[in-house]
Structure formats: structure tokens, C-alpha cells
Structure 1
């Protein structure tokens, strides 16, 4: 099976308003295609909205709450259908097109986002029209969960563990030399088709635990690793630790029976990677992925595994050295912040503004660890640091542009101060809606730091600043480190950098001199193209470079 990410989009003028829009024909041609027997609706998952159409019909029969969708950070839209057709003349592509157009009519703003992944999910087990009525047809809207104070507190605790404050973690000998956990060198990890729910269903169907008449039960985590090649095929299945029971072979066989995965992505292309899968066995007989160790897009945390799995015979944690930044960064979802900061050492008199909302938690550890490793050479360059959380969990309806709050500033006095201020800001708010108060944070901090002549903003590519109308008050260049750019650049950040004579930086590329571009000029960023039109950037339709 072939997979394609929608990585480039065309923006055209609609007849009713001036807006960017993605043609349905382009979505059909480039959507990420996957095949499953039948979709099982996970309505308890608060990060999904189901929009239903009947079997063989494009009509949307469920309500579409546009106000709710507009407030969400949507990461994926999944069009779900069945492959069964009564007549050879039936045109599935035409039906998919019509369903997309119905969705466009109901919620046109969904077709203006260049950071959304489009997926077509074909259900293959349907055998008749009557059977088809038992299958879900329509759209599944996936979005990021809104951070809460409780989640913020948990993330602070996680950062402390990661930084070795409460526990040492794992030796370089285990982490680096064995080479089993170097997953962070890819831009996006491999993924089981259908996500964690489908993966747990596969586990349940293929592991009979406990077996009848068996007196043997295991409790704890069996840790496995395997290779997912560029075509999604699994090989080299290994048990990193086993139970020393026959369940070890059962686990290996279960993994070998897995269907094709979505392969990892590196620089926009499928690549082979190692995947570490922790399986938790309960005394009750339940077996599932150890969720606390394997989070969405976060990869596998070996340090947490050592702390949680008391059944392993290992060197006591207190005798292992504290892990260093260079080792820890291998456990993070990607290394974009590390790469950018290591490439750009020329900035001086810096104000560093950091988004600490829930969407940024996976990247904040990189910020802290990089500073910890580079404190001496870098500290003279940083004059002030501002952490912003978009309002200290203030209700969205009460947020006023320029006065949202949740901005914590302080002179840069070293790593410990940076760490404590970040933790404080995280613990007091997680954001809420999809917009953040980036410009407010900059203006607040520059008023306190007249010596700050360069601004370094560490920002979420998925979240547009709510206060871009205040950009004309920013008097210094803004250098923007963008996190989460797998499916394209949020053009608002290109416009902000250009307006302030700053720059934009991704994991693999530094985009400078934007203010020197003229209308009609094009730039290429990680295989995607953007054109300057009427002093604003737009993404244009071109095939991603190989």
C-alpha cells in the first residue's frame, strides 16, 4: 500500500470571500490512504468528533458544531468509507469528492488549514448493502486535547524526572551504545494504522492471556523492539526484556502478525526506524500498550520504564550516573530545538520568549536541556526570558488582545532560574484555545529590557498568535523557532518574521532575509513552496521535492 501526506496545498480565491482553500480533487489525489477491516468508534475519546454520512450517500446526517471546531487545534481529518460496491460502475472517488464538498459547505474553514493531515480510511470487511449500514461512514476530526492544570503539574513532574532531579536515569552504555532507542532522529515516528485503539485491539485479538488451565501469570511490562521499514513492514522483532515464560513467544508472534504500519518520516520521506513497544500485563488478564510510556508522537521513554518496572534485575538506579542532555535528547519526540540552537550561535542581547502551553510540553525539555549543556557560552547572550501560557487558564471569552496575562518574565540568571520560572509558568496555565499571546509576551518583556535587541521566540507551529495586530509595536527582529512543522509552515509566522526583519527556523532549515523578498517571489521550505502576494505569504501547489 502506498502512503502520501498532503504536504503542499493550493490556495485559491473563493467566490464568496477572500480565503485560502484546498480543492477536494487535490485532497483525493494526495490523501494518506489506509485499509482496515472495520472502524470501531471511540466516542469516549474527547479528542475526536464524528461527522456521519449514510452508506453510499454524501449527505451529512449529524450536526456540525462550527464554533467548537474553530476553537480546536485540528491535526487530522479522516474520511471513512467501505470498499464494498454492488455494481462495478459505482464510482467511489466521485462519492468521496461529494462527501468532501458537503463537509466544505458545512465547515469551509477546515479546508484552509495547511497543517492538517488528510487520511482516507477504507473499511474492507463489508460484504453487502445491508451489512454496510452497520459501518461508520463519514469524517473523523482529530484534534489536540486542551491542557489542564492537572496535566501541567504532571508534565512538570515528568520534566523533573527527565532532568535527573528526582532520579538518575540510564547510563550512556545502555542508551547509546546498544542503539535500540535512537528514535528521535526522525521527524515523525512510525505508527500502527488506526492509532493506539486499533493497536490495543490487535493485541487483544492475538494474545490469549491468561490461558485456560494455566497456573502461570505474569505481572508487569514486557519490552519489545522491532524495525518498521520505509514501506511499513515489520522485521527484526526482539524482546528487550522478557518474562521467561511461554508468553514471550506469544508476544513475538503477535507482533509478526501485525499489518503494515505507517512508516516514520524524515525530511518528508518514508524511512526505516526502530520502534519500542512496551506491553503491560495485568493480573486481571488484561494486556495493553503501557500508555504512560508511549504517548502520542512522543516515542518511548526508557528512563520512565526503568522507574516503573520494578521486576527487572538491573543496577540500582541510585548507582547510575545522571543522564546528560546529549543522551536524553534521544528520548524526545524530535530534536528540532536542539538542531536550531546548535546551528545558530550568532544571536546576542537576547530576549527569549517561550510558549509553555500544553502543546509545547514535548519541546520544553529540549529548551532546558540545551541551556543546561550550554549555559556558560550562552548565558552572556541572554538578557531576559519570558514564558507565556495564554492567560493562566483564564476562560477564553475573557481574553482581551494585549491583556490576556500569563506572562512570566525575569532576567536570565542561569539554568536553575530558567528551570524554576518555566515550571512556575507551566503550573499556572495550559493555554485553552488554539491561539496564544506571543506578541503580548514580547512587548511585556521588551518594556523591561531596553538592552534586548534580538528576540528569540520558541513557538508552536499549530497555534497562531492571537495578537498579530500588535506586530507594529515590535521594534526588534523576531527569530522564530517553530515546533511541529511536519505538514507545512504556519504562514502567520513567516509574516511576523518578515515584518520585524527577523527569521524562521525549522529542524532542518534557517529562513532568513524574508524582508528582502518582493511580491511574486517564492521560497522553498523543507520541500514546500510559499509565495509573497500583497506582502503576505501563501502556500502554493507544487509537488514536494524528493
Structure 2
């Protein structure tokens, strides 16, 4: 323990006067306490610049060159609560100075979010040394034609796969209802065969002679020519006992599941042949957070507004999965998407008149995907801020009788036209995409001002009364307050929480 303390004591002590004011302000106002810091690697590029415990020099600076022309979305200084009696201000100021020396332009972009993360699980020197120390930087590179085309291909592939699954299910249902079962047919629906795997006690389930390989709450895409996928109500899957105990707990709030089955069994053989799931060319969704949030929404005469700017394809694909499931309920009235200006240069983007908003009466998932593709071909957003309020206002003009309004929002993108928020006259249910700590203040402003809500994979925020009463509201570990203009902003880390 003494060697760790000596390292801290021997650090050069940067005084408040020696440290730039913007660094002092970040260290004073942006402190967040978490048990352990978890890195978001899903929705953006991430660069981790590690430092040793108690040190202010970098251990590895590989990858810094990628930041040269990138939009720097957030910078997190990560350290541990040891020694707990020390605020570690001098050490962290030295770390910021090292960052500034390494990346002189790191603070030039006004939309960059800064956080100081104090991990509380480092209770002693040994445990603290095992946790992350240094800077975690989330960034996005400039959009290229290659990247845009790649995202368009992903959308097309998803639509094709979902359409094929729908056709397969319809054919299977029609065949099952029209063809009588004869003695020659070996239809074994929900048949349990023991001893057909490596473990004699493990059952293999067969559905219409086909071995069940996998169960998930999202459709399987890009199957092999021998495999098939179909949907099944969750309660039926539980009744037939094809789910493990863990799966029952995992999917108990899900109304519909998807089954992956292998090729039909040849019953004349003694041992049933079963496809190996690991060899199937299945592309699983890398993230299903948005899909789970969407499933919790009350869908009735709804308007869906989707951000389709660059880097949102991961969430666009999840949205398509949900739209496919909603098609049979006929609960969506209008669909809209936006690209922040149809590729016009930033200098020509006028608040309220940026453009790039596309709306249409909702027909089905495939038609909505076509509108998305059109918007994506016309533009990719360009800079990081986006014309979110303009998109909401234009979409509401196309659907003024809609009862529910859902916004698929990029958590890392500031709202360029937040000054228009008071022109939005209906509650906006915002599904926040990306990030694990807090939410961009602009989306707090929209939800609080319109009487809407914020949806995260494991959290829904509907009550903003604390903000309206002049207090502070904590959302995913970050405190928020309203400023004099009525706009939400991150409150200083030492603000009392209501």
C-alpha cells in the first residue's frame, strides 16, 4: 500500500492556477460516482488511453491518429476511489494536462461531453489497481460513400430476411391447416427425443420432424439452405417446456419468440441427425436494447420518427424487426425519417428549414424500409448536431391526429434546433440509442417540455416534476437541472438530488 501512496505523493502538483480553467471546471462539476465503469462499444468507435494507477502518463497511445478528423462525442476520465480521503484533484489535473499535450485539439468541439468517473469499488490499493484508469474517448469518423453503401446493404438484407421469414411462416401455417395427416406422415410436433445428444439426459425437441436448434426473441437472418425459422407465442414455448429455466426468466415479458430448426430427421435411422448450431451462418443482432424498449411501448395510431443519419443502422435494423412484428396489429399510422439536411453543408443549415425530413402513411415494414433507404441515399447528416425538432414538427403536420409519437434518437447527437421545442404540441416518447451513462440534455428537454418520456433498455423515465420544481433529477447516474431558459443541462456533480 505504501508504494501506491508514494506514487501519488510524488506526482507533480498542478495548482488551480497552472491548469486551464476548462479543465478545472470539468473536474469540479462533472464528477460521477459508479461502482465500476463499463465501456460502450456498440454505437460508436472507442479509444481507450490507459494510465497506471496513481500515474498521469499514458501506457499506450495507439489509435490517437484516428481522432484527427473525427467528431469527438465524449471523453471520460476514469479512475478509482482510492485513497478515499483524497479528492485526487491534482492527479486528475495532471492527467488532463497529459491528454491536452497528446491531443491538443481534444477540446475544440463544442458538442463533446466530458465526464469524470470515480469508480467506487476500488476500496484498497490492490483492487483499485485492477480497475480502468485513463481516458475513454468515443468518436465517429466522417461518413464515406463506402460506409453509406454498407449501411444500405444491411437494411436491404434485413428486409429480405424478414420478408422470407414471414413468407415461410405463412406457407407453413397454410400447409398445416390444409393437408390432412396420414399414417405415412411422421409429423412429430413438440416431440421430445432423449439420448439424441452427447448427454443422454438432455432432450432434443422436434417440431414437425425438424430438430430445434436455438430460441431467441429476435428473428434469425441469413440462414443456411437447410435451416428454417418461425415464430411462436412465448406462452406456448413455456407450456411445451422447450425453454430452459434461464430462458423462461429472460423471455417472460416477451410475447413472441423465434425458433431455429434444422433439416428434417430421417426417421429410419437409429440416431437422429442434428445440425450443429455453431456451423450455421446466422448473423445475430449485436445489440437488442432498442428492440426491447420498443416492445414496452403502447402502440395505438402511432407516428414513428427515425433518425437515419450515419451510424444509426444498428438501431434501424432493430426498428425493422419491431415494425415486422407490429404489421399484424395495424397500430402504426405514419412513418417518418430524417437525415439532417440532404447532405447540405453545415453553414447552410438554417434552424427550422434544414430539410431532409421524409414522411409517408405507414403500409408495412418493407415500405418503411424503402423510405429509410431513400432518406439515407439523399444524405447522411454531415456534422454531429441534428434537426430533431424540425423533423418532429414536420412529421406531426403529416399526422396531426396520431395518438402516440415515438422518436428513435441518437444519444450522442445534440439537437441543433432545440430552440423550437416549444412548437411541439404532443408528448414525445423518446427511445434513446447509444451510451450507458446519462442521456444528452437536449432529449431531457424535449421529453420534459412535451410531457413525454425517455425509454432505455432497462429504464423508463416519465416523471420530470423535480426539474420543473427547480430541483435536480438523476437519470442513469447523471444529475440534470433546468437552466434559466428552461433547457435541461447536466448539473454540477455536487448538486443535491431530489
> How does the TM-score come out when normalised to structure 1?
0.52
- 1:311-330 alignment runs, 5 A limit: 317-322=224-229
CA contact (8 A) 2:343 2:382 kept: yes
Deviation at 1:508, TM superposition (A): 1.2
The equivalent of 1:336 in structure 2 is 289
Are the equivalent residues in 2 in contact too, given 1:391–1:399 (CA < 8 A)? yes
State the distance in 1 between where 2:411 and 2:423 align: 22
- Give the Å deviation of 1:348: 3.1
Gaps of 5+ in 1: 1-15, 50-67, 80-90, 120-137, 170-300, 307-316
Instruction: Tell me, yes or no, if structure 1 residue 435 matches structure 2 residue 385.
Output: yes
Q: 1:459 offset after TM fit, Å?
A: 0.5
RMSD: 4.5
Which residue does 1:536 correspond to in 2?
487
Contact 1:508 1:526 in 2 (8 A): no
How far apart are 1:385 and its partner, in Å?
A: 0.9
| CA shift in 2, pair 1:464/1:34, >3 Å | same
1:387 maps to which residue?
Answer: 337
Deviation of the 1:164 alpha carbon: 4.5
1:29-44 to structure 2, matched below 5 A, reads 34=50, 39=60, 41-42=62-63
Gaps of 5+ in 2: 1-19, 38-47, 53-57, 79-89, 119-133, 166-218, 232-255, 261-281
Does structure 1 retain, via aligned residues, the 8 Å contact 2:429–2:447? yes
Kindly indicate whether residue 139 of structure 2 is the aligned counterpart of residue 143 of structure 1: yes
Within 5 Å, give how 1:329-368 maps onto structure 2.
331-345=284-298, 347-368=299-320
1:486 to 432, 436, 450: 436
How many correspondences in the alignment? 335
Q: TM-score, normalised by structure 2?
A: 0.56
What per-residue deviation string (whole Å, max 9, x for no partner) do you get for residues 202-242 of structure 1? xxxxxxxxxxxxxxxxxxxxxxxxxxxxxxxxxxxxxxxxx
Contact 1:73 1:463 in 2 (8 A): no
Bigger radius of gyration, 1 or 2?
A: 2
Give the SS at the match of 2:293. Answer: helix
Measured in 1, the distance between the counterparts of 2:488 and 2:149 equals 38
* 146-155 or 31-40, larger mean C-alpha shift: 31-40
CA contact (8 A) 2:470 2:481 kept: yes
Distance 1:422 1:109 in 2: 33
The answer (yes or no) to whether the contact 1:168–1:320 under 8 Å persists in 2 is no
8 Å Cα contact 2:27/2:116 also seen in 1:
no
Determine if contact 1:455/1:478 at 8 Å carries over to the other structure. Answer: yes
Q: 1:450 aligns with which of 389, 397, 400?
A: 400
- 1:334 Cα deviation after fit: 2.4
Q: What does 1:356-435 align with in structure 2 at a 5 Å threshold?
A: 356-377=308-329, 379-380=330-331, 382-435=332-385
Whether the 8 Å CA contact 1:167–1:318 is kept in 2: the answer is no
Q: 2: CA distance between counterparts of 1:414 and 1:538?
A: 38
Shift of 1:464: 1.1
Q: Which residues of 2 match residues 206-355 of structure 1 at below 5 A? A: 317-322=224-229, 331-345=284-298, 347-355=299-307
Residue 29 (structure 1) shift: 9.4
Q: Deviations over 1:437-479 (max 9, x none)?
A: 1122122222222212432111000001211122222111111
How much does 1:391 deviate? 1.7
Change beyond 3 A, Cα 1:481–1:25: closer
Which residues of 2 match residues 60-209 of structure 1 at below 5 A? 72-76=71-75, 95-99=94-98, 113-114=112-113, 143-165=139-161
Task: Provide the residue aligned with 1:527 in structure 2.
Answer: 477
- Answer yes or no: is the 8 Å Cα contact 1:149–1:430 preserved in 2: no
Matches within 5 A, 1:5-16: none
Aligned mates of 1:522, 1:25 — CA distance in 2: 14
- Aligned equivalents of 2:109 and 2:321: distance in 1? 37
Counterpart for residue 172 of structure 1: none
2:177 match: none
CA contact (8 A) 2:50 2:59 kept: no
Partners of 2:303 and 2:404 within 8 A in 1:
yes
Take 2:351 and 2:50, find their aligned partners in 1: how far apart are those partners? 42
Task: Supply the distance in 2 between the matched residues of 1:480 and 1:520 (Cα, whole angstroms).
Answer: 23
- Residues in 2 aligned to 1:28 and 1:492: alpha-carbon distance in whole angstroms: 19
Partners of 1:375 and 1:368 in 2: how far apart? Answer: 11
